Structure 1
Amino acid sequence: MPSPNTTKQSGGFAYALGAFGTWGFLPFYLLLVYHVSAFELVGWRAIFTFPVCVAFIAARKQGKEVWQALANRRTGLLLLLTATLIGSNWLLYVWSVMNNHIYAASLGYYINPLLNVLIGTVFLGERLSSRQWLAVGLAGIGVAILAAGALTTLWVSLALACSFATYGLVRKLIPIEALPGLAVESLYLVPPGVLLIWLATRGTGHTALHEGFGFSLIIAASGVLTAVPLYCFAEAARRMDYSTLGFFQFMVPTIVFISGLTVFREPLQPVQLASFIFIWAAIAVFCWDLSQRHRAMARRSKAADET
């Protein structure tokens, strides 16, 4: 019989795939709304995420947990912090994609997993195997090569990485389930969302919702595309070691990188190719280690059942 920890990790893998897979393909959604300013788009994203969370909360009857979080001063302040972190991350990400800094965004999400490993080992007491440390080393070399060739936009990459890594750490430590926590975060983000839309449309009064019903539905869909992966990420963070979760996050920049190369037609420099080879080698080593550990646990479980 699988151990509870093994079952918990397996459930976390599914949530991690859901979150990072959705985020990896987000630039394709941004193609549909490319002419909307970053400020306005993030504002609508914040506003439309809240009713999606409310609908999920009502369906799962978790309203009590939301009120308890709001009534608890410490929990409420921590969720205000995570809301600020994720809102800032959204704004910077959308701005970078819409201003043709696809690789800068990609680099940020390549740095992020390394920060997760660092946070997991330093702050959460997680231990890595020798193969995992090899993977970290290979990824570190790849990221260093890429960073050296992108110094002018490195601030974008570092800001994206640090904001999201800190968001994940704090969310992991807050004693609240994923969905109620997300609902409180989305509530906090509604007023800044309104402010961003006002700033973006000041003087014209024309918003993206004035461009027809079909386009309004596309803008409204940003709520679902925000709420669902954030919920999956919060569940994955609760169920998985933070270091392991970090390596799953390599999905995002890999998809973004391929999108930048094939869809957005950004030129690929030799230094970028070299760095990605190191990073993909690191992913392969880490996946190999996960496979070996899974097989070892399966053998131990089978041996225990036979005794």
Structure 2
Amino acid sequence: MTPLRLGYLYGLAAYLLWGFFPLYFKLLRPASPLEILAHRVVWSVAFVALLLVAMRNLGFLRALSRRPRALAGIATAAALIAVNWFTYIYGVNSDRVVETALGYFINPLVVVLLGVVVLGERLRPAQWLALGVGALAVAVLTIDYGRLPYLALALAFTFGGYSLVKKRLGLPAAEGLFVESAVLALPALAFLGWLSVTGDATFGQVSTAHTGLLVLAGALTAIPLLLFAGAANRLPLTGLGMLQYVAPILQLGCGVLIFHEPMPPARLAGFALVWLALIVFTADGLRQARRTRRQPPTAVSPAAAS
């Protein structure tokens, strides 16, 4: 199998797992979103630690401990992904899967917006058009919901911010997830201990299957990220960009077809505007990628190459 095909296989597997996450999180009730989050953090640390030990790759911790700015960045990334995970779990288990899917549909537009605001990037006209249509979609959905779709916006902005921080850190997937989860592990363990003392913990109290599913949260968190890393190393950005829509499409399907969440005409119109914005955004990205490939390579002088 060629590296390109293997990359698409890894990427599709990652997004399929993420796409069916609503089915998994529904099975974890009656555990509260905070309890599920705490177990996700703790078992992620355990799973990835075992993986790194098997790979004999724990030496990176020593080098990382001498980089205080990187540690501060990891703490920021950990806080953002914790908020993102909690928001998603809360949305799924409060029967708002459709709204969580919206968050990941608009995430590419939010990433572009953060590039302008935080990094000072300049957008092409088509990208501005996509952002404008996306803003109109949010306005339509606000009217439909009778409020801002705050779960979707929280998911999009926290994951967009997390992506921005991770891009600057440049840590591999397994190492990054281990350190981020380790930052959150102590408060997560303290919360789980408090639940046990007060008698509110569901772990070990509901059924053997429920307990096993909570433990499985670690592997289900790490495996898609590792598959995604494998895809990112083998695929062009355009290919990876097209795959990113698989997960929210599946999540939307879960919400409407499996959990029978309502999709009135106004909400459908709002989603249609989001999809129109993504079509404009994706078409512009593909056009820009083709233009870049056609440009002749710039000659590099011996002085510049040294």
Q: Distance in 2 between matches of 1:290 and 1:18?
A: 23
Q: Secondary structure at the match of 1:91?
A: helix
5+ unaligned residues in a row in structure 2: which ranges?
297-306
Using the TM superposition, give the Cα deviation of residue 170 of structure 1 relative to its aligned residue in structure 2, in angstroms. 0.7
Q: Give the 3 Å change call, closer, same or farther, for CA 231–141 of structure 1 in structure 2.
A: farther
Offset, 1:166:
1.1
Partner AA of 1:50 in structure 2: V
The one-letter amino acid of 1:179's match is A
**Partner Cα separation in structure 2 for residue 100 and residue 150 of structure 1:** 14
What's 1:169 paired with? 164
Q: How does 1:33-112 map to 2 (within 5 A)?
A: 33-112=28-107
Aligned to 1:258: 253
RMSD: 3.6
Distance 1:243 1:139, change over 3 A: farther
SS of structure 2 residue aligned to 1:95 = helix
1:145 aligned residue (136, 140, 163): 140
- Alignment check: 8 A CA contact 1:18 1:232 kept: yes
Is 2:199 the partner of 1:204? yes
Q: Which one is further off, 35-44 or 206-215?
A: 206-215
Match of 2:221 in 1: 226
1:228 and 1:148, CA in 2 relative to 1: closer, same or farther beyond 3 A?
A: farther
The number of residue pairs the alignment matches comes to: 294
**Alignment match, 1:4:** none
Distance 2:266 2:197 in 1: 42
CA offsets 1:96-131 (integer angstroms, 9 cap, x no match): 211122233233333422210112344446565554
Q: Distance in 1 between matches of 2:255 and 2:139?
A: 20
For structure 1, list consecutive stretches of 5 or more residues without a partner in the other structure. Answer: 1-6, 302-307
Tell me what 2:151 maps to: 156
> Could you tell me how far apart the structure 2 residues matched to 1:241 and 1:141 are?
31
Number of the residue aligned with 2:109: 114
Equivalents in 2 of 1:73, 1:291: separation in Å?
A: 38
Whole-Å Cα distance in 2 between the matches of residues 166 and 127 of structure 1?
18
Retained in 1: the 8 A contact 2:238–2:286? Answer: no
**Residues 115 and 159 from structure 1, CA distance in 2 versus in 1: closer, same or farther, beyond 3 angstroms?**
same
Structure with more helix by fraction:
1
Paired with 1:244 and 1:120, the residues of 2 have a C-alpha distance of 21
Deviations, residues 262-295 of structure 1 (Å, cap 9, x unaligned)? 1111111111111111222333344444555555
For each residue in 1:33-86, what CA deviation from the matched residue of structure 2 results, as whole angstroms up to 9, or x when unmatched?
A: 122221211111111101221123223332111332234222112111211111
Asked if the contact 1:15–1:236 (Cα under 8 Å) also holds between the matched residues in 2, the reply is yes
User: Matched residues in 2 for 1:164 and 1:262: separation?
Assistant: 26
